[in-house]
Amino acid sequence: MCLAVPGKVVSIDQRADPLTGLIDFGGVQKQACLEYLPDIRVGEYVIVHVGFALQRLDEESARASLELFEQLGLLEEEFGDAWEQAARQESGSEAR
């Protein structure tokens, strides 16, 4: 339903009403309304939908997600056997 893409806040026009900023989508730049993230700062990443920044992207969470995926892989390599891995999951022990 909702095509929204991450972009980096390049500049903020504090005088604009509604609050507006320039967002960089990897070399493509477009103005977006920042009114729903009033304390956003230049350099932060936001998720943009139909010209509106809807949420700040949290770097720490993104890193944690990717690390979790990496660990899944490590488990796989460490134990090889999928059954053993499933059993380990089943017993509730988190990946390290």
Binding site for another protein (CB under 8 A): 1-8, 18, 22, 25-30, 33, 35-38, 45, 47-52, 54-55, 57-59, 61-62, 64-66, 68-70, 72-73, 75-76, 82-83, 85-86, 89-90
Q: CB 66 → another protein: shortest distance, Å?
A: 6
Q: CB 82 → another protein: shortest distance, Å?
A: 4
Distances (CA, A) of 81 to 52, 62, 85, 90: 47, 28, 6, 14
Structure tokens at 12: 């903020």
